[in-house]
Structure 1
Amino acid sequence: MQPGRHLAEAGRPMLNLAQPIWLVLSLPLLVLAVLRWRRERVSQEPASVALIHPQLELLARSQVAQPGGRFVRWLDLLAQLCLVLALAQPQWIGAWLPETPQGREIVLLVDTSRTMSITDFELDGQPVERLAVLKDIVTRFVAGRRGDRFGLIAFGSVAGTLVPPTFDRDLVSAMLARLRVGIAGDDTAIGDAIGLALKQLQAQPRLRPALILFTDGDSTAGDITPGEAVALARHMGVPIYTVQIGGDLFAAGRPKAPAKTVSEPGLAQIAAATGGRYYQAGDRGALQSVIHDIGQREKTVVRPATRRVVQEWYLLPLLLAVGLLSLARLSAIRRVTA
């Protein structure tokens, strides 16, 4: 563990030394300074033996010129201590840095069949088509999910991948804005859309992925039946949240699904079989509540913060040492030239 690490884990801002072992160098510097100071005191004590010399007066004058030398030595000592402090790397440990949430892979399956143009939703008191309201609310959902990888599939008579799972939420939002009714045909190939979405998922995701299916009715087309797609989703352990947009399954002349010898699962059965949930959204408020509930059920994992803001302060004692050494050298030069 790095020295001082346990102090930084306390959570509050503090001053820390990253390499305090370098402070050991200050001990011999202080010892040398004390020995030099004691030696100077001994040399300044009056001698017990009188010295008679014809040039004794000149010798006394030369000793008077020495007081500045002690000042230079103290400056050198302080500069050396500042260099030791710089080697210890003083740091200011600040606030915790939030970690990026560990998100999920979420593939959005959006029905663009003909009936998604029905204007049974309202916005600001004006009738709005189903797809327009859906795009607005889903865009807000995508923007609020940091750390998730979103994919986008549009389906009608056929299914097509508009955006494979990506962290680029702006790209997903831009492609959502470009969706138009009828771009994939007038029918509803739910089985093809689910099968294509399952192919987009990673083989070993960090967290369980999920599919969110937005449609206004049951499957009426496609090469893969909803039953086959649900069996594959169950095998992969992928829940499917199904959201029925609007209330009238066969509004605006939408043809009913042809009778089949083997009944295919509806939206409620698809959700129940895969561990998801079935929703009905008859208006804008209900659709907002549905999106919020799905977001609560498929939460991102917020990892605990492990890093903090660190400001290196070693430059301050380093600059101070340079200043003290410069001042000491200037003082020494003045003594020599005086």
Structure 2
Amino acid sequence: MLSIAWVNTLEFTAPLWFLVLPLPLLVYRLLPAYRTKQSAIRVPFFSSLLQALDEKPSSGASELRPHWWQRVILLLSWLLVVSALAKPVLLGEAQTREQLGRDVMMVLDLSGSMDERDFMSPQGQVISRLDAAKGVLNNFAEQRKGDRLGLILFGDAAFIQSPFTADLTVWQALLQQAEVAMAGQSTYLGDAVGLAIKSFENSDDADREKVVIVLTDGNDSGSFVEPLDAAKVAAAKGVRIHSIAMGDPNTVGEAALDMDVINRLASLSGGRSFQALDQQQLNEAYQQVDELEPQLFNSISYRPKQAVHFYPIALVLVMYLLAFSVMTFRQLVRGNTDV
């Protein structure tokens, strides 16, 4: 089993070198063998001596004949040298490198009106708008493989709860920590959008697509940056904004929804706006956003390579050292025997 696994992970980066494997056979067939001269005695009765001994004359040179084990070493050495020239590499375990597609910043309203319990959970329980938003955001995040998600929470002020990250588990945990009014009771929508735009300036990849998804249930109540001004800046910087309005647009006061501002906030930046009066519409809004922003995900698999061409060469050296040692030992033994 070990040998099979090793062979399966071996690759030759220059396999054309194996075409020279038959070269020694061609040399053996086409070129004459080297002959060594031998000593001879010249006598006038050479012909008579051959007839008496019933022998045939031979040339004054002989061809050295290697032993069978020497032939084996020569063949193995040639095979190993050619294998080394073919540049063998050992492949490691497969590695996957993921290229992320988009930076998506979620902007979530935590004003006091998000505590209104006018949404129904999938289990039929009455829940707050914030709990409904958390559930939908969790489901949305799980479908955004390849995207980096960020999270901004806002009320009287806006702050980054989670910078851009591809770790969805951490992002979802930070989302669950959000509570109503933890950033104040008001709705500073324009400041939150402005902070979202600024967060892209610190992104490590300027070519990645930039998307902001705003979820709010009220009108802007005094931001330093007007929402529409923030939308124009977003358009200039290539940031697309999708806005989702929760709650009844017929409400009055600070919790009232200005759908004209919400619609223009999205349209000015090239995004879309949605209205969600209940849990089903909220789910449908995020499904449409998911369709508008399809995943941009590319996964590259590779196997690290380790060069092993020096192993065949080392094996050749070891074989020749052993062969030289054997021949030297045999000559020593033969010399002692002759003495």
Instruction: Please say whether Structure 1 and Structure 2 have the same fold, judged by a TM-score greater than 0.5.
Output: yes
In 2, Cα distance between the equivalents of 1:51 and 1:328? 45
Task: Report whether the alignment pairs 1:176 with 2:172.
Answer: no
Aligned twin of 1:289 = 284
Q: How many residues align?
A: 302
Maintained 8 Å contact 1:75/1:328: no
Bigger CA drift: 221-230 or 280-289? 280-289
Instruction: Determine helix, strand or coil for the equivalent of 2:181.
Output: coil
In 1, Cα distance between the equivalents of 2:308 and 2:200? 48
Task: After TM superposition, give the deviation of residue 268 of structure 1 in Å.
Answer: 1.7
Aligned twin of 2:196 = 197
Aligned twin of 2:222 = 221
Maintained 8 Å contact 1:75/1:324: no
In the alignment, residue 131 of structure 1 is paired with which amino acid?
A: L
Task: After TM superposition, give the deviation of residue 240 of structure 1 in Å.
Answer: 1.1
> Given the superposition, is the C-alpha separation of residues 311 and 73 from structure 1 closer, same or farther in structure 2, using an over 3 Å criterion?
same
Q: How does 1:246-257 map to 2 (within 5 A)?
A: 246-247=247-248, 250=251, 255=254
Instruction: Determine helix, strand or coil for the equivalent of 1:266.
Output: helix
Aligned twin of 1:145 = 144
Task: After TM superposition, give the deviation of residue 111 of structure 1 in Å.
Answer: 0.6
Task: After TM superposition, give the deviation of residue 245 of structure 1 in Å.
Answer: 2.2
Maintained 8 Å contact 1:246/1:281: yes
Unaligned residue ranges in structure 1 (runs of 5+) = 1-12, 53-65
Unaligned residue ranges in structure 2 (runs of 5+) = 1-7, 39-45, 51-63, 335-339
> Given the superposition, is the C-alpha separation of residues 156 and 301 from structure 1 closer, same or farther in structure 2, using an over 3 Å criterion?
same
Task: Report whether the alignment pairs 1:279 with 2:274.
Answer: yes
Output the aligned Cα RMSD: 4.4
Aligned twin of 2:261 = 266
TM-score (norm: length of structure 1) = 0.70
> Given the superposition, is the C-alpha separation of residues 139 and 96 from structure 1 closer, same or farther in structure 2, using an over 3 Å criterion?
same
Maintained 8 Å contact 1:89/1:312: no
Among residues 111, 114, 118, which one is paired with 2:112 in the alignment? 114
Q: How does 1:100-139 map to 2 (within 5 A)?
A: 100-119=98-117, 120-139=119-138
Bigger CA drift: 238-247 or 316-325? 316-325
> Given the superposition, is the C-alpha separation of residues 121 and 24 from structure 1 closer, same or farther in structure 2, using an over 3 Å criterion?
same
Aligned twin of 1:237 = 238
Greater gyration radius: 2
Task: After TM superposition, give the deviation of residue 256 of structure 1 in Å.
Answer: 5.2
Bigger CA drift: 128-137 or 22-31? 22-31
Bigger CA drift: 143-152 or 269-278? 143-152
Maintained 8 Å contact 1:110/1:213: yes
In the alignment, residue 325 of structure 1 is paired with which amino acid?
A: M
> Given the superposition, is the C-alpha separation of residues 136 and 226 from structure 1 closer, same or farther in structure 2, using an over 3 Å criterion?
same
Instruction: Calculate percent identity across the aligned residue pairs.
Output: 26
In 2, Cα distance between the equivalents of 1:300 and 1:319? 50
> Given the superposition, is the C-alpha separation of residues 51 and 161 from structure 1 closer, same or farther in structure 2, using an over 3 Å criterion?
farther
> Given the superposition, is the C-alpha separation of residues 270 and 213 from structure 1 closer, same or farther in structure 2, using an over 3 Å criterion?
same
> Given the superposition, is the C-alpha separation of residues 29 and 50 from structure 1 closer, same or farther in structure 2, using an over 3 Å criterion?
farther
Maintained 8 Å contact 1:85/1:317: no
Task: After TM superposition, give the deviation of residue 82 of structure 1 in Å.
Answer: 2.2
> Given the superposition, is the C-alpha separation of residues 256 and 99 from structure 1 closer, same or farther in structure 2, using an over 3 Å criterion?
closer
> Given the superposition, is the C-alpha separation of residues 314 and 104 from structure 1 closer, same or farther in structure 2, using an over 3 Å criterion?
same
Aligned twin of 2:207 = 206
TM-score (norm: length of structure 2) = 0.70
Cα deviation per residue 1:31-90 (whole Å; 9 max; x = unaligned)?
Answer: 5655799569xx9xxxx98988xxxxxxxxxxxxx9881332223322331232133134
> Given the superposition, is the C-alpha separation of residues 51 and 282 from structure 1 closer, same or farther in structure 2, using an over 3 Å criterion?
farther
In 1, Cα distance between the equivalents of 2:15 and 2:76? 18
Among residues 18, 43, 51, which one is paired with 2:13 in the alignment? 18
